Amino acid sequence: MIRCIRNRYGVLDTNDPRKYPFFDLIFVHTGQIQAELCEDQLLINPFQALLIYPDTPFRVFSVTSPATISMNHFLPEETETLPIEIQTLAGKKSSYKFFQPCSASILEHDIKRLASLDPDGKSSVNTSLRSLLMMLILTQLYSKENRQCPASSISPEISKIIDSLKNNLAHPPTLRDMADKTGMSVSYFRSQFSRQLDISPGKYLLDLRMNEATRLLRETLTPIKDIAELIGYSNIVPFYNSFKTRFKMTPKEYRDKHLSLV
C-alpha cells in the first residue's frame, strides 16, 4: 500500500527551500513553475508533474502568477503488493523524476479528489481511499500510453501544433503557419494557445528548445554548435544568450556540471 502523509491543492505561495523524508509529487494545474533541485532547473507547465525523492533539497517558485499546483507527500509500504513501476521507488533518495504532459481529464480529477479528502481523517475507509488514489495517480503517470497523450483540456487543433513543434525544433512552423494549420487568425490562435496552456507559443517553443538542449548537453558529446542547430538556432550567439539567461551559466558550464556520458 501507499501511506499518504499530506496533500494540498491551491496557489503556490512560497519559494522557500525544502527537503522532506518522503516522496513529494507536484502537479501543475494552471500557470508555470520553476523547480531547482539536484543542480537542475526545470520549467514545469500545466499537466506536467515532478516526483521528488526523499532527502532531496529543492525550491519551487511561480514563473507565472498565479500558478495552481497540487503537492502530495507519500511513502510506499508493503511494496510487493504495488504495481511494478511503484515498487521500483522503494529505497530511492536524493533525485527526481519529471513527467511530460499527460492525459489530464482522469488524472487531474483523481488528484483533486485526493486533495479533497481530509488528510487527518482517521477512518480506515479514508486511509484506504487515499492510498488507492495515490497508487492510481502514480500508475497513470508511469503509463507510457498516458504520457504520450495530449491533455484533454487542450483542443485537437492545438495538440497537433504542439506535436509539430516538438518534432520540428530545427525548423519549427512560424506563428502564421500555426494559425493557418488551425484555420484561425494569428491573433485568435495566439490567444487560444495561451489560454489553453497558460503560456505563449513563443515561450513554449523556447522551453522545448532549452529542455532539449539541456538533455543533449547532459547525455551526449554533441558539439555545442551542432546542438544549437539541432534545436533551431542558425547562429550560436542567440543560443548562448538564451541559455545563459535561462540557466545563469553557459552551455559549456552546464555540460561540465551535468554530463553523465563517460
Name the grid cell of 110: 483523481
- pLDDT score of 6: 83
Report the CATH number at residue 231.
Answer: 1.10.10.60
Number of C-beta neighbours around residue 68 at 10 A: 17
Domain edge (last residue) among 147, 169, 188: 147
Q: Are residues 7 and 93 in the same domain?
A: yes
Question: Can you say whether the dihedral through the CA atoms of 158, 190, 184, 234 is positive or negative?
Answer: negative
Mean pLDDT of the chain: 83
Higher pLDDT among residues 200 and 63, named by residue: 200
Q: What's the average model confidence in pLDDT over 219-238?
A: 94
- DSSP per residue, 6-41: EEEEEE------B--SSEEEEEEEES-EEEEETTEE
Domain edge (last residue) among 147, 182, 202: 147
pLDDT of 260 strictly over 60: no
pLDDT of 124 strictly over 90: no
Report the CATH number at residue 84.
Answer: 2.60.120.280
Number of C-beta neighbours around residue 69 at 10 A: 25
Residue 168 · residue 178 · CB < 8 Å: no
Using the 8-state DSSP alphabet, how is residue 38 labeled? T
Q: Are residues 7 and 123 in the same domain?
A: yes
Q: What's the number of domains the chain is made of?
A: 2
Of 20-34, 86-100, 226-240, least confident by mean pLDDT is 86-100
pLDDT of 23 strictly over 80: yes
pLDDT of 159 strictly over 90: no
- pLDDT score of 151: 42
Of 67-76, 102-111, 165-174, least confident by mean pLDDT is 102-111
Q: Are residues 161 and 127 in the same domain?
A: no
Write the single-letter amino acid at 48.
Q
Q: Are residues 112 and 186 in the same domain?
A: no
Using the 8-state DSSP alphabet, how is residue 47 labeled? T
Of 9-18, 52-61, 246-255, least confident by mean pLDDT is 9-18
Q: Are residues 134 and 201 in the same domain?
A: no
Q: Are residues 8 and 126 in the same domain?
A: yes
CA 169 to chain CA mean position, Å: 19
Q: What is the pLDDT of residues 36-47, one digit of tens each?
A: 888 788 888 888
Nearest Cα to Cα of residue 251 among 208, 202, 207, 216: 216
- pLDDT score of 15: 73
Of 18-27, 81-90, 186-195, least confident by mean pLDDT is 81-90
Q: Are residues 143 and 71 in the same domain?
A: yes
User: What distance in Å separates the CA atoms of residue 216 and residue 27, rounded to the nearest whole number?
Assistant: 25
Q: What's the average model confidence in pLDDT over 200-209?
A: 90
Higher pLDDT among residues 122 and 26, named by residue: 26
Q: Are residues 122 and 24 in the same domain?
A: yes
Whether pTM > 0.75 for this model: the answer is no
- pLDDT score of 171: 94
Nearest Cα to Cα of residue 242 among 229, 234, 251: 251
Residue 184 · residue 195 · CB < 8 Å: no
Q: Are residues 93 and 123 in the same domain?
A: yes
- pLDDT score of 148: 41
Domain edge (last residue) among 147, 178, 193: 147
Nearest Cα to Cα of residue 26 among 61, 68, 72: 72
Residue 36 · residue 162 · CB < 8 Å: no
- The angle at the Cα of 186, spanning 180 to 189, to the nearest 5 degrees, equals 85
pLDDT of 216 strictly over 70: yes
CA 71 to chain CA mean position, Å: 13
pLDDT of 176 strictly over 90: yes
Name the grid cell of 148: 504520450
- pLDDT score of 83: 74
Full domain range(s) for residue 25: 2-147
- pLDDT score of 153: 60
Relative to beta strand 23-30, strand 40-44 is unpaired
Q: Are residues 38 and 136 in the same domain?
A: yes
- pLDDT score of 92: 86
Using the 8-state DSSP alphabet, how is residue 150 labeled? P
Q: Are residues 87 and 141 in the same domain?
A: yes
Number of C-beta neighbours around residue 35 at 10 A: 19
Q: Are residues 10 and 102 in the same domain?
A: yes
